Chain A
Amino acid sequence: MSGTVESGGKVLGGLGADGGGGGKGNGGGQLVARGLGVFARQREATVLVVTVALLLYFGISHNSTFVTQTNAVDLLSEIMAPIAIIAIGEVLLLICGEIDLSVGFIYTLAPFVTLYAVDDYHVPAFLAIILGLLAGVVAGWVNGFITVTLGVPSFITTIGTGFVMEGLALTFSHAEPSPTPPSVLSAGKWLGVPGNPWQWAPFVWAVVLVLIFHVVLTRTRFGLYTISAGGNLLGAREAGINVGRIKYGNFMITGFMGALVGLQTALYTNNVDPSAGGYQPMFYAVIAAVIGGTAMLGGSGTILGAFLGAIVLATLTDGFDIIGVSSNPLPIIFGGAILVAMIANVQLARLRGSGRSL
């Protein structure tokens, strides 16, 4: 039995030793491990290698276009940040055994709440932004209520609430986009607007939220109970954990993240658009989570891994665009890349698993 764990230790030790030898990904992993104390887990290390390899590939082969400030902003603030921020919520939900398919429509709806608060009710812009974020939290609460209290599986709950929110956004806007009010633009530039330095804001938000929620997941009671709820629901209940409250919390966090990204997009594009959001950002976030090592069946996952997953997806999107792959075959390459990443993940996990003597 002790052999099991020893071999686990060897794997980790091996990683560290490799990193010293020059494997750039592992070296990076080791560095971060010192800082955060959690990075030595192999799951994250695998994604980290892929992330670094992709960045290196595009960085070296298309140096002049990839390694520029404009592209860095495109890649990190415009493409990566929304995926990473929503992925935080999805990771937490997946870990506790739920999912939110509606978060992309919370993204759609939240800017409208802000818009109408300003236009129709003359709410001060800053307050209207807060209301938009709160609307996301409320939407998350509704998802929690229907799932936890009324007992509908979250997969179904959030398909339903997603449609409702989509319909609300379309109805109120008459399917017409409108420009973001100037007062909101100036009151909300800390959320991210074009031009230096605020164009970096979405990226900074993503990094800060990832770090905060990484700590929440790994170093707080709430995080432990989230893992417990998904890892062994009955056992968690037996231990007296209020599992429902944990799930409510995670739905509300996810709703907040959806609203945040929606508002950021409305500010960044100067446009409140009923066709923004939808399923795509949600799917990107779920894929980022899963590529990052979060189990679809709950019980385990990491937010740092999802962050790396978001970088991988953003790098692929941005990189293929730069290489000049036309937009028609792009989904084929994209889908293929996701499948390869996931097959590698699953097979590696199987290899690791077979080392166990259970």
Chain B
Amino acid sequence: MTAQDPGTQPSAGDGPAPGEVLRVEHISKRFGAVTALRDINLHLERGEVLALLGDNGAGKSTLMKTICGFQQPDTGRIIVNGQETVLKSVEHARSLGIDIVYQDLALIPGLSVYHNMFLNREKLHWPLLNNREMRRVAREHLEEMGVNIPSVNVSVARLSGGQRQAIAVARAVFEDAKILLLDEPLAAMGVKEGAMILDLVRDLKRRGDVSVIIIAHNYGQVFDVCDRVNLVQQGEITFDKPSRDTSVEELTEIVVAEYRKALQERHGAA
């Protein structure tokens, strides 16, 4: 096990406890003639924020779907909290604390914020909902997480993309997620909105018990909050460095080189 320096930023209070929460070894996945994942090796420490970067079609999404239990890999092992595990379903992964947050998939637009927070875990005054209690707990929890919304009573349809994303993340943490996969959390978001989500990720890091994998193709946006950067290229992780040992420039250089290569291949073929 690589002894990763826990937390690259000084954290107030208890720092993240060291320890590996997730390890993925030699994972591959084919869909017919297409090899989506060739040989993926990845690890995640407790309290760490890992950026998983890569071009469209590089295999990021397939990898995420594998880690969140949506699909099984053809070969390779997944080790959760030191135990080799076959993730049978999304529910199974969730029961182990692995949860994925999609930007627009997670919430029900017609329901209030607090009903969304408690979706399928409602508090009841049988046979009615105990709305008062849910409102109170939701408000407390969002406050604790530093998520700013005008009121937990508003319907999610009235909230901005950033607010929705923040609530989806807060809900996952509320449901005891320990490994949080954020799929393109900043997509289609303005700068201010994006900053709000990045702040939320920073707060998670400060808590120390939640590890985060951010999937992004725009690394400039997420570079500042992550502890480590992995780059996925053609179904393999080709780059793994702590963010203090790399830079946006270095990443850009790699991407540009990839484009150059692709261009040369096109012209060579033509």
A297 to chain B, nearest CB (A): 11
Chain B contacts of A219 at CB under 8 A? 128-129, 131
B105 proximal to A (CB < 8 A): yes
Given known contacts A1-B160, A5-B154, A356-B158, A241 and B120 CB-to-CB distance under 8 angstroms: yes
Chain A contacts of B120 at CB under 8 A? 239-241
Tell me whether B108 and A236 are in contact (CB under 8 A): yes
What count of chain A residues pass the 8 Å CB interface test? Answer: 28
Tell me whether A232 and B105 are in contact (CB under 8 A): yes
Q: Closest chain A residue to B90 by CB distance?
A: A238
Tell me whether A232 and B150 are in contact (CB under 8 A): no
Q: Which residue in A1, A8, A224, A234 is a CB contact (below 8 Å) of B105? A: A234
Tell me whether B115 and A224 are in contact (CB under 8 A): yes
Tell me whether A2 and B150 are in contact (CB under 8 A): yes
Interface 1/0s, chain A 337-358, versus B by CB < 8 A? Answer: 0000000000000000000111
Tell me whether A228 and B158 are in contact (CB under 8 A): no
Q: Which residue in B111, B128, B150, B151 is a CB contact (below 8 Å) of A220? A: B128
Chain A contacts of B131 at CB under 8 A? 219
Tell me whether B160 and A358 are in contact (CB under 8 A): yes
Tell me whether B129 and A221 are in contact (CB under 8 A): yes
B256 proximal to A (CB < 8 A): no
A120 proximal to B (CB < 8 A): no
A4 proximal to B (CB < 8 A): yes
Interface 1/0s, chain A 1-38, versus B by CB < 8 A? Answer: 11011101000000000000000000000000000000
Q: Is the interface of B mostly helix, strand, loop or mixed?
A: loop
Chain A contacts of B242 at CB under 8 A? none
Chain B contacts of A227 at CB under 8 A? 108, 110-111
Interface 1/0s, chain B 132-168, versus A by CB < 8 A? Answer: 0000000000000000001100100011111100000
Tell me whether B158 and A224 are in contact (CB under 8 A): no
B106 proximal to A (CB < 8 A): yes
Chain A contacts of B163 at CB under 8 A? 1
* Alpha-carbon separation in the docked complex, A299 to B107 (Å): 12
Given known contacts A219-B131, A220-B128, A228-B111, A235 and B150 CB-to-CB distance under 8 angstroms: no
What count of chain B residues pass the 8 Å CB interface test? Answer: 27
Tell me whether B109 and A6 are in contact (CB under 8 A): no
B123 to chain A, nearest CB (A): 10
Chain B contacts of A224 at CB under 8 A? 111, 115, 119, 122, 129
A300 proximal to B (CB < 8 A): yes
Q: Which residue in B91, B110, B124 is a CB contact (below 8 Å) of A300? A: B110
Q: Is the interface of A mostly helix, strand, loop or mixed?
A: helix
* Alpha-carbon separation in the docked complex, A300 to B156 (Å): 12
Chain B contacts of A1 at CB under 8 A? 150, 159-160, 162-163
Q: Closest chain B residue to A240 by CB distance?
A: B120
Q: Closest chain B residue to A216 by CB distance?
A: B127
* Alpha-carbon separation in the docked complex, A240 to B127 (Å): 20
A244 proximal to B (CB < 8 A): no
Chain B contacts of A232 at CB under 8 A? 105, 107-109
Interface 1/0s, chain A 205-230, versus B by CB < 8 A? Answer: 00000000001000111001001101
* Alpha-carbon separation in the docked complex, A42 to B173 (Å): 34
A195 to chain B, nearest CB (A): 37
Chain B contacts of A235 at CB under 8 A? 105-108
* Alpha-carbon separation in the docked complex, A249 to B122 (Å): 19
B14 to chain A, nearest CB (A): 31
Q: Which residue in B91, B122, B160 is a CB contact (below 8 Å) of A221? A: B122
Chain B contacts of A240 at CB under 8 A? 91, 120
Chain A contacts of B128 at CB under 8 A? 215, 219-220
Tell me whether B129 and A220 are in contact (CB under 8 A): yes
* Alpha-carbon separation in the docked complex, A2 to B161 (Å): 13
Besides A232-B109, A234-B105, A358-B161, 19 new A-B residue pairs in contact (Cβ under 8 A), listed by A number: A2-B150, A4-B160, A8-B154, A8-B158, A220-B129, A224-B119, A227-B110, A228-B111, A235-B106, A235-B108, A236-B119, A238-B105, A238-B106, A239-B119, A239-B120, A240-B120, A241-B119, A299-B109, A358-B160
Interface, chain A (partner B; CB < 8 A): 1-2, 4-6, 8, 215, 219-221, 224, 227-228, 230-232, 234-236, 238-241, 299-300, 356-358
Interchain Cβ contacts under 8 Å between A and B, 17 examples: A1-B159, A4-B159, A215-B128, A219-B131, A220-B129, A221-B122, A230-B110, A231-B108, A231-B111, A232-B107, A235-B105, A235-B107, A236-B119, A238-B90, A240-B91, A241-B120, A299-B110
Closest 7 CB pairs of A and B: A231-B110, A5-B150, A300-B110, A299-B110, A231-B108, A239-B120, A239-B119
